[in-house]
Structure 1
Amino acid sequence: MSDVVDFRGGDFRGTVIGKAEYRQQAPAPTALDALPPPAAGFTGRDEELDRLRAALGPSGPGGGQAVLVTAVSGLGGIGKTALAVRAAYAAREAGWFPGGVLFVDLHGYDDAPVTADQALESLLRALGVEPEHIPATADERAGLYRSVLAEREAVLIVADNASSPEQVRPLLPGTPRHRVLVTSRDRLAPLGARLVPLDQLTPQAAYELLDRALRIADPEDDRVVEEAEAASRLAELCGYLPLALQIAVALLAEDPGKSVEELADELGTSYGRLAALDDGDRSVRAAFDLSYRRLSAGQARLLTLLAMAPGPEVSEEVAAVLAGTEEALLRDLRALARVHLVERGNHRGCWRMHDLVRVFGADVAAGDAGARQRLLTHYYRWAGAADDRLRWFPGEPEPERFATRAEALAWLDRERAGLVAAVRWEWEERHRHTAVRLALCLCAYLRWRRHFDDMVAVAGAAQQTALSSGDREGEAMASNNLGIALRETGHLQEAVDAHVRDRHLCQELGYRDGEALAWNNLGGTLVLADRVEEAIDAFLRARDLYRDVGYRTGEAQVWNNLGAALAEADRVEEAMDAFVRSCDLHQALGDRHGESSAWNNLGVALTKSGQTDDATEAYGKALAIRREFEDWYGVGQTLENLAIEHRRTHRPAEARAHYLQAADAYTRANAPADAARAAAAALTAPEEPTGTPARAAPPARTTDSARPSPRPPDAPGTGVR
């Protein structure tokens, strides 16, 4: 530009002032290193970082086609932005994006999210395009954006907090040399992106985040290490959610005198845990509310109903019962899953939600007084039908819904956690009778699957509910089941007390068959408590009562149990006679599973009397029936008895093989201690028998280090109600 101004030819009639404007051509400023700082205390995402590095690498995973878009998705507060920023720093340091890194926050869940044309304007400015050269329409901006990128070396575009594919699609470059890394609460599958879903931290990673972030505030702050147990509880109360953990750190940092235990107690006892997880700048409730406000009315209602469901997972069947309809159920569930407010559970057709989302859903619930009642009615109906199938004998009426034991067990397995939790709900007076009966329907199943802790909880809750509502019949039946559960968990005196309580109640109510069952189950516990003579007397009383009321199934069980007590008292001939009577009665009744127990116990008695061939035959009959019923614990017992029999007859190879098969069966039966014992016996058992026989008491847990002897007879046939 010339610095000379030519005024020739001008007509000036007064003072003239000259004004000049100089322009200098220079590139507009760029923002190609605009990443926010890394999150404090970041930890526990090694696997996800590896997946992002693989996707962002120059040649794509395994040297294949490059991945244009990678989408990190997850619940609000799960740490998506922190992970994306950390991955972007790593990619830049690796030299994969010499053209720079662009960062844009799309505010997808705010009241006024960033539109695509606004995002493009921001990115074009960051790329150095002068404002006056940025077109007015979104399509024109997208074209210019791709053209500018085409002239540059590889650039990484980080689009944070997107709420829909439409927000992101215009930001995609025209060449795979550049990459896009998106974070969203939605899965954004329509983008054709490499999906990286993000879950909550592991307990260990959450603990490390608390410690690291707190030490950033004060390197000398060792409260987390000094209160490790309380810190673990605090992490659990935060749901292992990074946002909640960071807020907890801020609350501790601003109050150096507060212990970790104090904060954990505050969160644990706070009526509104989400309200407590607020440091004035960040709030877990606010993070969830951003997602909640975008839900339709039906989706919002379903979320609150799922939040009140019992158990950690909710089946679609139960969700439909809570909602009162199946209309649009799957559509709404999938919509909730897309924004990570629910996710698929461990069982097919089941869904679960994060602990803090459950709290949020319960807090915002409008309430549905009929939902819990519908669920209780539903659970009672089908748990009762499943229980009927498990107890069914040929010739009896077919139970409702479940055609086979396998179907009944599969339903109970899927719904177990919800059923157990529903029993323990605080029910109104008018629903307590049904809640107690639901508990009674579960005990045979819980014992079969060896979920003894659940059995104690269910039976104990039913006993207390029945007692508080004056339901003496229900209390009696629950006391019976509680006694069985306590026996299985080794609380023998408490089990005795429960059976005595059951007996007294049945006597008061005039229930002679219930009294017989109480005597029967009391006898089984007395055997384990080394009170064998008292046990024999209890079994004889039960036998006589069953005969008086004509209940042959109960009598068949008692003969088996009496035989086990007689064997423990070394009255072997009498024991064998009792087992034979039990076998005959069970056969006549068509109770093949009961028959298998009697055959197994008869084998034990035959071995004690030296009748090896007959014992082996009895074990074989028991094993065949137990396999038919998939009674894996019983299979393990009988295989272990056969292993001991092989050792007694100097066949160590066969003995080891049967021990190993027994260990496998015990494992399938959820009995790890028994599995470990059988596996150890396979490795360490001597080839020659030495010592004295182990005691034959049901179900004594003897090691096999002394003289090989049959496993004790089965536990007494316990009638759960």
Structure 2
Amino acid sequence: MIGEQPPGVGASGDRSMAAGGSIGVAISGDNTRVVILPPDAVHWARTVQAPPEAGYLPGSASGVFVGREDELAGLRAMLTGEGTAAVTQAAVRAIHGLGGVGKSTLALQYAHRYRGEYTLVWWMTAESAESIVRSLSELAMSLCPHWAGAASPDERAAWAMLWLQEHSDWLLIFDNIENPAHLRPYLGTLHRGHHLATSRKATGWHALAPTMALGLLPLEKATDLLCTLVAFPDGTATDHDRDAARELARTLGCLPLALEQAGAYAFQTGTDLDTYRQSLGLVLDEVTEGIDPERTIARIWDHTITAITDRNPLAVTLLTVMAWLAPDDIPRTYLAPLAPTSIALNSALGVLHTYNMVTFTDQKNLNVHRLVQTVLRTRGNPPPGRADAERLIHQAMPSHDGSPAPAEQWQQWLPHITALAESSPPDHMAAAETIMAYRTATDYLHRQGRTVHAVSLLQAILAHAERTLGDTHPATLTSRHQLAYAYKEAGNPERAIPLHETTLAQREQTLGHTHPSTLTSRNGLATAYDDAGDLERAIPLYETTLAQREQTLGHTHPSTLTSRNNLAYAHWKARDLEQAIPLYETTLAQREQVLGHTHPDTLTSRSNLAVAFETAGDLERAIPLYEATLAQREQTLGHTHPSTLTSRGILANAYANAGDLERAIPLYETTLAQREQVLGHTHPDTLTSRSNLAVARAAQRTSSSTCPPDDHTNASTPRPHD
């Protein structure tokens, strides 16, 4: 895998960026994807208004909402209070707590109760950066279908970001955030509405949002909830009924999900609460955090599954299959092959809904609670439903017939194939067609520049190859190298290095030291060492790889140029400029000859060389290169492309360091304005530009000529990788 990476400023990491104007919008998940929107799309983003009560919520407001009124009022006060306290700071609130405690229910209730206060309410599944982008894509389809229908998912997400920047008084709900850092680009860019997040994670929020720790229900509130759910014949619970409900609530640890499922069971079967509690057996064990949600749900499930089986055995089959898929937006069409008719499918799903095992998001999709999935996956060996789930996901694979598939099919399918890989039981032997589906998903993600999201798929592929082919089979070595690369892209060199070391040793032994695959492994290991800060081991490997590529591929082969750039960069990091500068000069000359003067890789080499010259204190040679690179990036990439902003920022620093503040300050002003537009007012790179401009203006007032080159740190461009 070979390709030059863009400069670091505003172009890497978990960032999402949006900008107006005809240039378009740049957005990113874990990898940067620059999206250029046409002028008509920008026009629609600015002019399209949300219809009354527009938005998407995954269900209606609960008719049974007990015990959370104080939290609901607190949410409202927090969101509206922050919104009025600082115009530029979006109102943000994060709800965290263990699974089944009612975080999503509280967020949904808030959205319904205050829907009239917002121009748009949009619920987003937020387990990953990709799922957030997918939800934004769906927002664009909802608001502007006449344009979005012909656009790609990334273009739609970019359009949605621009729309949110242009309009106000909206509410975004990020449900089930696994990594709080995934919120950072949205909080830093979208300031004209409210953000509400739910998460099981209690940490990682201190720099992002105030949090509300949602605990178990108080015992009396839990008792009220059970009494309401059971709906006693006279409409009022007797003292005996309340005593039975109180004891059952205590047995279930006052966990809302458990209470809801127990109440649904008692109501549907007519079982009184005291009898139901006694049938559960011993009081559930407690762990350090209090109630153990998995054990609680498992004990309830033993009774519920019996009742569901008696009513509709197909419903149990469907539920065991859904346990292995992503919990949200499971298409009914995926489950259809399990039912003899659509009527039978709908009837079985209706039974599951009656027992509170699934919720319907719309006419096409449904959700199952993550805690229910976790419990179901551990019941039996072989685990029930796994084989059917693998078969159904393979059948649903996009392009299964060889024809190109719409992007929407990929976006719908990827969460479920990924969940299938992540949930694979220990020592499970996946079917051959399942591994083929994993590879298909991995290839698609790599083509989209999203290799970081393929880690779980690659782990499953490697485990299968090791088990079926052995450790040293070429296919196993390829799978191991690909997984190591994905770890490195995910910023985890500690996991990448051992895999690269093993792969390199085995390829040297089986293929020889100069085989192209061996050279790829050696370069991969060197970059992993480099990323881990171990230049003493990285540089010798870079040198060896470069020499062998020059010998076997030639001095101007793209892979050779990659190796030379890698080695130059490592020497630059080590501040060995006598080694770095000649290598950068050679790489630039050869890329100009082979690729042309305005190719992105050539521009990267020119910028690298300029940075090296300036590091050496040679501004006379650095500044003309900076100027040429900026002019060419403006021409080829546009004025607001992240690489262009990097070039403009480091040129301003070079002018300032040369004492030429008259030329530095206008560039700082332009860079700041464009970063505010593209990245938002609170993005770290925007803050860097604002600081640089302030220091330059202060230096001008005091006739000082020193301005700290903060952009230099970010301007050192990452190497391309095999």
**Bigger Rg over Cα:** 1
Which has the bigger relative contact order, CA under 8 A and spacing at least 6? Answer: 2
TM-score, with normalisation over the residues of structure 2? 0.49
TM-score, with normalisation over the residues of structure 1? 0.49
